[in-house]
Amino acid sequence: MKILIIANRLPVKIEREEDSFVVKRSEGGLATGLGSLETDAEMHWVGWPGIHVDDENEKQEITEKLNELNYHPVFLSDEQIENYYEGYSNSTIWPLCHYFFSFIQYKAEYWETYRQVNALFCEKALPFIEDDDIIWVQDYQLMLLPKKIREKKPKVNIGYFHHIPFPSYELFRVLPEREEVLEGLLGADLIGFHTHDYMRHFISAIYRVLGLNCNLDEISLKDRIVHVDAFPMGINYEQYHQAPSLPDVRKISERLIGELGNQTIILSVDRLDYSKGILHRLNGFANFLEHHPEYHKKVSLAMIVVPSRDAVDRYADLKIQIDQSIGKINGIYSTLGWTPVYYFYQSFPFNELVALYDIADIAMVTPLRDGMNLVAKEYLASKREKPGVLILSEMAGAAIELTDAIVINPNDTQEIEAAILQALTMSKKEQRVRLNNMQKRIS
Protein backbone atom coordinates (compact mmCIF):
# COMPACT_ATOMS: atom_id res chain seq x y z
CA MET A 1 0.00 0.00 0.00
CA LYS A 2 1.17 3.53 -0.76
CA ILE A 3 -0.21 7.01 -0.13
CA LEU A 4 -0.64 9.19 -3.20
CA ILE A 5 -1.14 12.90 -2.41
CA ILE A 6 -2.62 14.87 -5.31
CA ALA A 7 -2.47 18.65 -4.97
CA ASN A 8 -2.42 21.63 -7.31
CA ARG A 9 1.26 22.17 -6.42
CA LEU A 10 4.06 19.80 -5.54
CA PRO A 11 5.77 20.47 -2.16
CA VAL A 12 8.77 21.60 -4.21
CA LYS A 13 9.10 23.97 -7.15
CA ILE A 14 11.37 23.76 -10.17
CA GLU A 15 13.36 26.86 -11.10
CA ARG A 16 15.52 27.45 -14.15
CA GLU A 17 19.13 28.36 -13.33
CA GLU A 18 21.37 28.94 -16.35
CA ASP A 19 21.39 25.65 -18.30
CA SER A 20 19.71 23.39 -15.77
CA PHE A 21 16.73 23.08 -13.42
CA VAL A 22 16.96 23.13 -9.64
CA VAL A 23 14.48 21.77 -7.10
CA LYS A 24 13.50 24.15 -4.26
CA ARG A 25 11.09 23.80 -1.34
CA SER A 26 7.66 25.36 -1.74
CA GLU A 27 6.27 27.83 0.80
CA GLY A 28 2.72 27.51 2.10
CA GLY A 29 0.66 25.76 4.73
CA LEU A 30 -0.10 22.68 2.65
CA ALA A 31 3.54 21.80 1.95
CA THR A 32 4.43 22.47 5.61
CA GLY A 33 1.51 20.53 7.05
CA LEU A 34 1.80 17.45 4.85
CA GLY A 35 5.60 17.58 5.06
CA SER A 36 5.32 16.71 8.74
CA LEU A 37 3.15 13.65 8.07
CA GLU A 38 4.66 10.65 9.84
CA THR A 39 3.99 7.35 8.10
CA ASP A 40 5.83 4.18 7.12
CA ALA A 41 3.84 3.95 3.89
CA GLU A 42 5.53 4.76 0.61
CA MET A 43 4.48 8.30 -0.33
CA HIS A 44 4.05 9.84 -3.77
CA TRP A 45 2.94 13.35 -4.82
CA VAL A 46 1.25 14.42 -8.04
CA GLY A 47 1.09 18.16 -8.81
CA TRP A 48 2.15 21.13 -10.91
CA PRO A 49 5.93 21.82 -10.59
CA GLY A 50 5.51 25.63 -10.59
CA ILE A 51 7.10 26.22 -14.00
CA HIS A 52 5.82 26.41 -17.58
CA VAL A 53 7.85 24.54 -20.22
CA ASP A 54 6.96 23.62 -23.83
CA ASP A 55 10.09 21.71 -24.79
CA GLU A 56 9.52 17.93 -24.50
CA ASN A 57 13.18 17.28 -23.60
CA GLU A 58 12.97 19.78 -20.73
CA LYS A 59 9.74 18.15 -19.52
CA GLN A 60 11.54 14.80 -19.57
CA GLU A 61 14.51 16.22 -17.60
CA ILE A 62 12.21 17.74 -14.94
CA THR A 63 10.15 14.54 -14.71
CA GLU A 64 13.25 12.39 -14.13
CA LYS A 65 14.59 14.80 -11.48
CA LEU A 66 11.27 14.77 -9.62
CA ASN A 67 10.61 11.03 -9.98
CA GLU A 68 13.73 10.38 -7.89
CA LEU A 69 11.84 12.05 -5.00
CA ASN A 70 8.55 10.19 -5.77
CA TYR A 71 7.13 13.44 -7.18
CA HIS A 72 5.17 13.27 -10.44
CA PRO A 73 4.72 16.57 -12.33
CA VAL A 74 1.58 17.68 -14.18
CA PHE A 75 2.64 20.19 -16.83
CA LEU A 76 0.17 22.99 -17.58
CA SER A 77 0.13 25.44 -20.49
CA ASP A 78 0.04 29.21 -19.93
CA GLU A 79 -3.61 29.20 -20.96
CA GLN A 80 -4.46 26.43 -18.48
CA ILE A 81 -2.67 28.27 -15.65
CA GLU A 82 -4.59 31.41 -16.53
CA ASN A 83 -8.07 29.85 -16.85
CA TYR A 84 -7.92 26.94 -14.36
CA TYR A 85 -5.71 28.41 -11.64
CA GLU A 86 -6.01 32.21 -11.86
CA GLY A 87 -9.47 31.83 -13.39
CA TYR A 88 -11.89 29.26 -11.99
CA SER A 89 -9.90 28.37 -8.86
CA ASN A 90 -8.92 31.86 -7.73
CA SER A 91 -11.41 34.19 -9.41
CA THR A 92 -14.55 32.06 -8.95
CA ILE A 93 -14.14 29.49 -6.14
CA TRP A 94 -11.76 31.45 -3.86
CA PRO A 95 -13.93 34.61 -3.52
CA LEU A 96 -17.07 32.43 -3.26
CA CYS A 97 -15.64 30.40 -0.36
CA HIS A 98 -14.28 33.52 1.38
CA TYR A 99 -17.62 35.38 1.15
CA PHE A 100 -16.36 38.07 -1.27
CA PHE A 101 -19.46 37.77 -3.44
CA SER A 102 -18.81 40.90 -5.51
CA PHE A 103 -15.32 39.64 -6.47
CA ILE A 104 -16.62 36.46 -8.16
CA GLN A 105 -15.92 36.27 -11.90
CA TYR A 106 -17.69 33.83 -14.23
CA LYS A 107 -16.37 32.89 -17.64
CA ALA A 108 -17.29 29.77 -19.65
CA GLU A 109 -13.62 29.14 -20.51
CA TYR A 110 -12.70 29.17 -16.79
CA TRP A 111 -15.03 26.25 -16.09
CA GLU A 112 -14.13 24.34 -19.27
CA THR A 113 -10.41 24.58 -18.44
CA TYR A 114 -11.04 23.60 -14.79
CA ARG A 115 -12.74 20.40 -15.98
CA GLN A 116 -9.98 19.76 -18.51
CA VAL A 117 -7.17 20.19 -15.93
CA ASN A 118 -8.93 17.97 -13.35
CA ALA A 119 -9.10 15.29 -16.10
CA LEU A 120 -5.39 15.84 -16.82
CA PHE A 121 -4.49 15.33 -13.13
CA CYS A 122 -6.52 12.09 -13.19
CA GLU A 123 -4.71 10.88 -16.31
CA LYS A 124 -1.30 11.63 -14.72
CA ALA A 125 -2.15 9.90 -11.43
CA LEU A 126 -3.76 6.70 -12.78
CA PRO A 127 -0.51 4.88 -13.75
CA PHE A 128 0.64 5.03 -10.10
CA ILE A 129 -2.66 3.89 -8.52
CA GLU A 130 -3.27 0.33 -7.33
CA ASP A 131 -6.44 -0.93 -5.64
CA ASP A 132 -5.12 -1.01 -2.06
CA ASP A 133 -3.59 2.50 -2.22
CA ILE A 134 -4.84 5.59 -0.36
CA ILE A 135 -5.44 8.58 -2.61
CA TRP A 136 -5.55 11.93 -0.82
CA VAL A 137 -6.83 14.83 -2.94
CA GLN A 138 -6.11 18.31 -1.64
CA ASP A 139 -8.26 21.39 -1.92
CA TYR A 140 -10.54 23.46 -4.09
CA GLN A 141 -8.47 23.35 -7.30
CA LEU A 142 -9.28 19.64 -7.69
CA MET A 143 -12.91 19.22 -6.61
CA LEU A 144 -13.86 17.14 -9.67
CA LEU A 145 -10.93 14.72 -9.25
CA PRO A 146 -12.32 12.24 -6.64
CA LYS A 147 -15.18 11.22 -8.97
CA LYS A 148 -12.87 10.99 -12.00
CA ILE A 149 -10.52 8.62 -10.14
CA ARG A 150 -13.47 6.62 -8.73
CA GLU A 151 -14.83 6.01 -12.25
CA LYS A 152 -11.49 4.50 -13.34
CA LYS A 153 -10.53 2.79 -10.06
CA PRO A 154 -13.77 1.92 -8.19
CA LYS A 155 -12.03 -0.06 -5.40
CA VAL A 156 -9.40 2.49 -4.35
CA ASN A 157 -9.62 4.46 -1.06
CA ILE A 158 -10.03 8.19 -1.72
CA GLY A 159 -9.91 11.07 0.76
CA TYR A 160 -10.47 14.75 -0.02
CA PHE A 161 -9.53 17.67 2.24
CA HIS A 162 -10.91 21.21 1.78
CA HIS A 163 -8.32 23.68 3.12
CA ILE A 164 -10.44 26.84 2.82
CA PRO A 165 -13.88 27.73 4.23
CA PHE A 166 -16.92 26.04 2.69
CA PRO A 167 -19.59 28.73 2.27
CA SER A 168 -23.19 28.61 3.45
CA TYR A 169 -25.73 27.18 1.01
CA GLU A 170 -27.17 30.63 0.26
CA LEU A 171 -23.82 31.63 -1.22
CA PHE A 172 -22.85 28.25 -2.70
CA ARG A 173 -26.10 28.04 -4.68
CA VAL A 174 -25.02 30.98 -6.91
CA LEU A 175 -22.38 28.71 -8.49
CA PRO A 176 -23.75 27.57 -11.87
CA GLU A 177 -21.72 24.33 -11.70
CA ARG A 178 -22.75 23.48 -8.12
CA GLU A 179 -24.11 19.99 -8.96
CA GLU A 180 -21.06 18.82 -10.85
CA VAL A 181 -18.73 20.17 -8.13
CA LEU A 182 -20.59 18.33 -5.34
CA GLU A 183 -20.82 15.10 -7.37
CA GLY A 184 -17.08 15.38 -8.00
CA LEU A 185 -16.41 15.54 -4.25
CA LEU A 186 -18.72 12.59 -3.53
CA GLY A 187 -16.29 10.39 -5.45
CA ALA A 188 -14.27 10.37 -2.18
CA ASP A 189 -14.85 7.94 0.72
CA LEU A 190 -13.92 10.59 3.29
CA ILE A 191 -14.32 14.37 2.95
CA GLY A 192 -12.56 16.53 5.53
CA PHE A 193 -12.94 20.15 6.63
CA HIS A 194 -11.16 22.31 9.23
CA THR A 195 -14.29 23.04 11.30
CA HIS A 196 -17.79 21.71 11.99
CA ASP A 197 -19.26 24.93 10.53
CA TYR A 198 -17.73 24.24 7.09
CA MET A 199 -18.83 20.60 7.35
CA ARG A 200 -22.40 21.68 8.18
CA HIS A 201 -22.50 24.07 5.20
CA PHE A 202 -21.32 21.25 2.92
CA ILE A 203 -23.95 18.82 4.21
CA SER A 204 -26.64 21.47 3.72
CA ALA A 205 -25.52 21.99 0.10
CA ILE A 206 -25.54 18.21 -0.53
CA TYR A 207 -29.15 17.99 0.71
CA ARG A 208 -30.45 21.07 -1.07
CA VAL A 209 -28.61 20.68 -4.38
CA LEU A 210 -28.49 16.90 -4.78
CA GLY A 211 -31.40 15.90 -2.50
CA LEU A 212 -29.17 13.50 -0.52
CA ASN A 213 -29.67 13.04 3.21
CA CYS A 214 -26.77 12.93 5.62
CA ASN A 215 -27.17 10.75 8.72
CA LEU A 216 -24.86 12.30 11.35
CA ASP A 217 -21.65 12.26 9.32
CA GLU A 218 -22.53 9.71 6.62
CA ILE A 219 -23.97 10.27 3.15
CA SER A 220 -25.50 7.09 1.69
CA LEU A 221 -25.05 6.63 -2.04
CA LYS A 222 -26.39 3.67 -4.06
CA ASP A 223 -23.31 1.49 -3.68
CA ARG A 224 -21.28 3.00 -0.83
CA ILE A 225 -21.13 5.45 2.08
CA VAL A 226 -19.25 8.76 2.11
CA HIS A 227 -18.01 9.97 5.51
CA VAL A 228 -17.77 13.69 6.25
CA ASP A 229 -15.87 15.06 9.26
CA ALA A 230 -13.92 17.98 10.72
CA PHE A 231 -10.15 17.62 11.15
CA PRO A 232 -8.53 20.91 12.26
CA MET A 233 -5.14 21.08 10.58
CA GLY A 234 -2.21 21.22 12.99
CA ILE A 235 1.50 21.96 12.75
CA ASN A 236 4.68 20.12 13.70
CA TYR A 237 4.54 21.52 17.25
CA GLU A 238 7.90 20.22 18.49
CA GLN A 239 9.74 21.59 15.45
CA TYR A 240 8.50 25.13 16.20
CA HIS A 241 8.78 24.79 19.98
CA GLN A 242 12.42 23.65 19.92
CA ALA A 243 13.55 25.98 17.10
CA PRO A 244 14.13 29.19 19.17
CA SER A 245 16.87 27.40 21.16
CA LEU A 246 18.82 26.42 18.01
CA PRO A 247 22.14 28.35 17.83
CA ASP A 248 21.36 29.78 14.35
CA VAL A 249 17.94 31.03 15.45
CA ARG A 250 19.33 32.49 18.71
CA LYS A 251 21.88 34.45 16.71
CA ILE A 252 19.14 35.97 14.53
CA SER A 253 16.95 36.73 17.58
CA GLU A 254 19.84 38.53 19.31
CA ARG A 255 20.60 40.53 16.16
CA LEU A 256 16.93 41.57 15.81
CA ILE A 257 16.71 42.62 19.46
CA GLY A 258 19.87 44.70 18.96
CA GLU A 259 18.43 46.37 15.86
CA LEU A 260 14.93 46.98 17.25
CA GLY A 261 16.01 48.14 20.69
CA ASN A 262 13.93 47.94 23.83
CA GLN A 263 10.45 48.24 22.36
CA THR A 264 7.35 46.05 22.11
CA ILE A 265 6.99 44.28 18.77
CA ILE A 266 3.62 43.37 17.25
CA LEU A 267 4.06 40.84 14.43
CA SER A 268 1.78 40.16 11.49
CA VAL A 269 2.49 37.59 8.74
CA ASP A 270 0.22 37.10 5.72
CA ARG A 271 0.17 36.21 2.08
CA LEU A 272 -0.95 39.14 -0.10
CA ASP A 273 -4.71 38.55 -0.27
CA TYR A 274 -7.90 40.56 0.21
CA SER A 275 -9.24 37.89 2.59
CA LYS A 276 -6.43 38.57 5.12
CA GLY A 277 -7.76 41.91 6.45
CA ILE A 278 -4.39 43.67 6.13
CA LEU A 279 -5.84 47.15 5.52
CA HIS A 280 -8.29 46.83 8.45
CA ARG A 281 -5.36 45.86 10.68
CA LEU A 282 -3.33 48.88 9.58
CA ASN A 283 -6.32 51.17 10.20
CA GLY A 284 -6.72 49.67 13.69
CA PHE A 285 -3.02 50.25 14.43
CA ALA A 286 -3.26 53.84 13.09
CA ASN A 287 -6.25 54.45 15.44
CA PHE A 288 -4.19 53.07 18.33
CA LEU A 289 -1.27 55.44 17.61
CA GLU A 290 -3.64 58.40 17.29
CA HIS A 291 -5.47 57.76 20.57
CA HIS A 292 -2.52 56.49 22.66
CA PRO A 293 0.46 58.84 22.19
CA GLU A 294 1.93 57.45 25.43
CA TYR A 295 2.96 54.35 23.38
CA HIS A 296 4.81 56.31 20.70
CA LYS A 297 8.48 55.19 20.46
CA LYS A 298 7.58 52.12 22.57
CA VAL A 299 5.59 49.93 20.13
CA SER A 300 6.20 48.94 16.49
CA LEU A 301 4.29 46.74 14.07
CA ALA A 302 6.48 44.37 12.03
CA MET A 303 4.37 43.51 9.00
CA ILE A 304 5.40 40.67 6.67
CA VAL A 305 3.40 40.38 3.46
CA VAL A 306 4.39 37.40 1.29
CA PRO A 307 4.07 38.20 -2.46
CA SER A 308 1.19 36.39 -4.14
CA ARG A 309 -0.65 36.84 -7.46
CA ASP A 310 0.56 40.44 -7.66
CA ALA A 311 0.25 40.32 -11.46
CA VAL A 312 -3.56 40.11 -10.97
CA ASP A 313 -5.15 43.59 -10.95
CA ARG A 314 -7.08 43.11 -7.71
CA TYR A 315 -3.93 42.01 -5.86
CA ALA A 316 -1.77 44.71 -7.43
CA ASP A 317 -4.33 47.32 -6.29
CA LEU A 318 -4.29 45.87 -2.78
CA LYS A 319 -0.48 46.04 -2.72
CA ILE A 320 -0.63 49.75 -3.67
CA GLN A 321 -3.19 50.44 -0.90
CA ILE A 322 -1.04 48.64 1.69
CA ASP A 323 2.07 50.59 0.60
CA GLN A 324 0.17 53.89 0.81
CA SER A 325 -1.36 53.07 4.20
CA ILE A 326 2.02 52.15 5.73
CA GLY A 327 3.65 55.22 4.13
CA LYS A 328 0.97 57.45 5.65
CA ILE A 329 1.35 55.97 9.18
CA ASN A 330 5.14 56.21 9.07
CA GLY A 331 4.94 59.69 7.54
CA ILE A 332 2.78 60.99 10.40
CA TYR A 333 4.37 59.27 13.40
CA SER A 334 8.01 58.36 12.60
CA THR A 335 10.82 60.02 14.53
CA LEU A 336 14.58 59.78 14.00
CA GLY A 337 14.86 56.82 16.35
CA TRP A 338 11.48 55.14 15.85
CA THR A 339 9.62 53.55 12.92
CA PRO A 340 5.98 52.65 13.75
CA VAL A 341 5.61 50.05 10.92
CA TYR A 342 8.45 47.87 9.66
CA TYR A 343 7.27 46.49 6.34
CA PHE A 344 8.68 43.43 4.55
CA TYR A 345 7.22 42.47 1.18
CA GLN A 346 8.97 39.09 0.98
CA SER A 347 8.88 35.56 2.34
CA PHE A 348 11.27 34.60 5.15
CA PRO A 349 13.23 31.36 5.59
CA PHE A 350 12.25 29.15 8.54
CA ASN A 351 15.02 30.27 10.95
CA GLU A 352 14.33 33.99 10.44
CA LEU A 353 10.58 33.54 10.75
CA VAL A 354 10.95 31.59 14.01
CA ALA A 355 13.32 34.28 15.34
CA LEU A 356 10.61 36.89 14.62
CA TYR A 357 8.00 34.73 16.39
CA ASP A 358 10.43 34.39 19.30
CA ILE A 359 11.04 38.14 19.81
CA ALA A 360 7.49 39.33 19.05
CA ASP A 361 5.48 40.24 22.16
CA ILE A 362 2.16 40.19 20.30
CA ALA A 363 0.97 38.48 17.11
CA MET A 364 -1.93 39.99 15.18
CA VAL A 365 -3.75 37.46 13.00
CA THR A 366 -6.92 39.16 11.76
CA PRO A 367 -8.18 37.68 8.47
CA LEU A 368 -11.66 38.59 7.25
CA ARG A 369 -12.06 34.86 6.42
CA ASP A 370 -9.57 32.03 6.75
CA GLY A 371 -9.92 28.26 6.51
CA MET A 372 -7.63 27.67 9.50
CA ASN A 373 -4.53 29.93 9.75
CA LEU A 374 -1.35 28.16 10.76
CA VAL A 375 0.63 31.36 11.53
CA ALA A 376 -1.37 31.68 14.77
CA LYS A 377 -0.38 28.14 15.79
CA GLU A 378 3.26 28.55 14.73
CA TYR A 379 3.59 31.74 16.76
CA LEU A 380 2.19 30.10 19.90
CA ALA A 381 4.34 26.98 19.47
CA SER A 382 7.50 29.12 19.15
CA LYS A 383 7.04 30.83 22.54
CA ARG A 384 9.29 29.43 25.28
CA GLU A 385 10.92 31.66 27.92
CA LYS A 386 9.07 34.84 26.95
CA PRO A 387 5.27 34.58 26.74
CA GLY A 388 3.33 36.32 24.00
CA VAL A 389 -0.22 37.45 23.29
CA LEU A 390 -2.25 36.38 20.26
CA ILE A 391 -4.88 38.73 18.79
CA LEU A 392 -7.03 36.52 16.57
CA SER A 393 -9.94 37.04 14.19
CA GLU A 394 -13.14 35.17 15.02
CA MET A 395 -13.41 34.50 11.24
CA ALA A 396 -10.32 32.25 11.21
CA GLY A 397 -10.92 28.52 11.60
CA ALA A 398 -8.24 28.51 14.35
CA ALA A 399 -10.45 30.71 16.59
CA ILE A 400 -12.59 27.68 17.48
CA GLU A 401 -9.57 26.01 19.10
CA LEU A 402 -7.65 29.04 20.37
CA THR A 403 -10.24 30.53 22.72
CA ASP A 404 -7.57 31.96 25.05
CA ALA A 405 -6.49 34.42 22.36
CA ILE A 406 -7.92 37.97 22.34
CA VAL A 407 -10.64 37.16 19.80
CA ILE A 408 -11.90 40.10 17.72
CA ASN A 409 -14.18 40.93 14.79
CA PRO A 410 -11.64 41.89 12.08
CA ASN A 411 -14.05 44.34 10.42
CA ASP A 412 -14.12 46.52 13.55
CA THR A 413 -11.03 48.75 13.62
CA GLN A 414 -11.99 50.08 17.08
CA GLU A 415 -11.99 46.51 18.38
CA ILE A 416 -8.52 45.98 16.85
CA GLU A 417 -7.33 49.15 18.61
CA ALA A 418 -8.82 47.98 21.95
CA ALA A 419 -7.24 44.52 21.52
CA ILE A 420 -3.78 46.07 21.03
CA LEU A 421 -4.22 48.04 24.26
CA GLN A 422 -5.46 44.93 26.10
CA ALA A 423 -2.46 42.93 24.88
CA LEU A 424 0.00 45.66 25.92
CA THR A 425 -1.44 45.96 29.43
CA MET A 426 -1.95 42.23 30.08
CA SER A 427 0.01 40.94 33.07
CA LYS A 428 2.80 38.42 32.48
CA LYS A 429 0.91 35.94 34.66
CA GLU A 430 -2.23 36.12 32.52
CA GLN A 431 -0.14 35.91 29.35
CA ARG A 432 1.50 32.74 30.64
CA VAL A 433 -1.82 31.10 31.65
CA ARG A 434 -3.43 31.83 28.28
CA LEU A 435 -0.33 30.69 26.38
CA ASN A 436 -0.06 27.43 28.32
CA ASN A 437 -3.71 26.61 27.63
CA MET A 438 -3.31 27.20 23.91
CA GLN A 439 0.03 25.36 23.68
CA LYS A 440 -1.55 22.36 25.40
CA ARG A 441 -4.31 22.41 22.81
CA ILE A 442 -2.16 22.70 19.69
CA SER A 443 0.60 20.32 20.79
Q: Is 370 a catalytic residue?
A: yes
Residues of the chain with CATH 3.40.50.2000: 2-230, 237-442
Please state which of the four CATH numbers 2.30.110.10, 3.30.43.10, 2.60.40.10, 3.40.50.2000 is assigned to the domain occupying 2-230.
Answer: 3.40.50.2000
Q: What is the pLDDT of residues 279-337, one digit of tens each?
A: 999 999 999 999 999 999 999 999 999 998 877 888 999 999 999 999 999 999 999 99
Active-site option among 163, 194, 201, 241: 163
pLDDT higher than threshold 80 for residue 37: no
Active-site option among 270, 361, 370, 404: 370
Q: What is the pLDDT of residues 176-190, one digit of tens each?
A: 999 999 999 999 999
* Band (262; pLDDT cuts 50, 70, 90): confident
Q: Tell me how far apart the alpha carbons of residues 390 and 407 are, in angstroms, rounded to a whole number.
A: 8
Nearest to 45, CA basis, from 9, 86, 4, 16:
4
Which amino acid is it at 109?
E
76: CB partners within 8 A, 6+ apart: 48, 52, 84, 85, 117, 120
Q: Is 404 a catalytic residue?
A: no
Please provide the average confidence, as pLDDT, over all residues in the chain. 94
Please check whether residue 431 is in contact with residue 362, taking contact to mean a CB–CB distance below 8 angstroms.
no
Q: What is the CATH number of domain 237-442?
A: 3.40.50.2000
Which amino acid is it at 178?
R
pTM of the model: 0.93
Q: What is the pLDDT of residues 358-403, one digit of tens each?
A: 999 999 999 999 999 999 999 999 999 889 999 999 999 999 999 9
